[in-house]
Structure 1
Amino acid sequence: MKKFKTAFSILFLLVLGGFFFIWIQNELAFREELHQRAAPSGLHPIVEEKSEELVSKAAAIGIQVLITDGFRSADEQNGLHAKGRSTTGNVVTYARGGDSYHNYGLAIDFALKLSNGEVVWDTARDDNKNGKADWFEVAAIGKELGFQWGGDWQRFKDYPHLEMTFGLSIDELKRGYRPEDVMQ
């Protein structure tokens, strides 16, 4: 009986080890696939669709919205990060290339467009005369559409910023995960 238990234990450990080996191989192959994925080169289709819906819904209540920024390459992001640091101008972002949802096509920035064509970042304007600041009305529409708004952030406020993370962190995006991985 003791020999049977020993043989069974050895067999069990071999089978368990085989399953573990196969799992490790699959995990390593998946991670390699992630690293080989091309970086996005434009807005994610859902973000693009919801951006257009944002502009349309805002227009329906008398607010003209201009999407001022969407996808940014890492080089473009680094250029913006340099402003107010190593180049002239005011600091406009705290994120370096690869550290912004813009770099993965998951974020947009917006501004208000006046009837004369001027573009403003005035959070207090009420051009549709309903007693509410147009900027915050646009942010509310964005949140209804599934965006997270930079004006709700605790560390610092980024009022023009709307993003859809699909539950992915910047670190996961850097490692190659994409929204399609979490949407399946």
Structure 2
Amino acid sequence: MKFRFLIFIAIIIGAIFIYQYSMYKEYSNRPLPTSLHPIVAEKADALQNQAEKIGIPIIITDAFRSFDEQDAIYARGRTTDGPVVTYAKGGESYHNYGLAIDFSLLPSPESAIWDLEYDGNQNGQSDWMEVVDLAKDLGFSWGGDFTNFKDYPHLQMDLGLSIRELRKGKRPEDVIE
């Protein structure tokens, strides 16, 4: 009886593996993106324009990142000097697939700031949170809402895909079409 049960479990595990393999096989040889996805780029431009209209100049400080660039950022605070700024290794960030940006406030052309309480347009509200609200209205998710690691400058659009799907080769055009 135990032997039959073990065979049954092995068959189930095998079926799951075959299903997973066949589900992503068609995507497995697809190249990685090398730039920001056009939808994300368009929304990033819109965010900058909308923020400027309410007196909050911003700058996009980071957008697409290669796996190597991501690994270098991941090394900060671990194997290189500086504070830990990410928990995502190469391939584990939406930046690596052109689906994320980072921003900062730009109160003057030579000084980017990451002050969540700054009120440069003097309307009694945090400029940072005003930009976050604009970004959310444009369809971005905000890293400040992450539960484990708050990434306040981070905005992303998953466009219907998980990191796991992206790693296996699936791309937004497979979902959006």
Query: Which residue in the other structure is 2:100 paired with?
Result: 107
Query: Which residue in the other structure is 2:140 paired with?
Result: 147
Identity of aligned residues (%): 56
Q: Structure 2: how far apart are the matches of 1:164 and 1:116? A: 27
1:163 partnered with 2:156: yes
- CA-CA distance at 1:31 after TM superposition: 3.6
Query: Per residue, is there more helix in 1 or in 2?
Result: 1
User: TM-score, normalization: structure 1?
Assistant: 0.82
Considering Cα pairs closer than 8 Å and 6+ residues apart, tell me whether 1 or 2 has the greater RCO. 2
Within the candidate set 58, 61, 82, 1:68 is matched to 61
Structure 2: which 5+ runs fail to align? 1-17
SS in 2 for 1:80: helix
Q: How does 1:47-58 map to 2 (within 5 A)?
A: 47-58=40-51
Distance 1:69 1:116, change over 3 A: closer
- CA-CA distance at 1:167 after TM superposition: 1.8
Structure 1: which 5+ runs fail to align? 1-23
1:78 partnered with 2:71: yes
Aligned partners of 2:59 and 2:105 also within 8 Å: yes
Runs of 4 or more consecutive aligned structure 1 residues displaced over 6 Å after TM superposition:
none
SS in 1 for 2:45: helix
Count of matched residue positions in the alignment of Structure 1 and Structure 2: 158
Q: Structure 2: how far apart are the matches of 1:31 and 1:94? A: 26
Larger radius of gyration: 1
Per-residue deviation, residues 116-175 of structure 1 (Å, max 9, x unmatched): 521110110000000000000000000000000011122221110000001211000000
- When the two chains are superposed, the root-mean-square deviation of aligned CA atoms in Å is 1.4
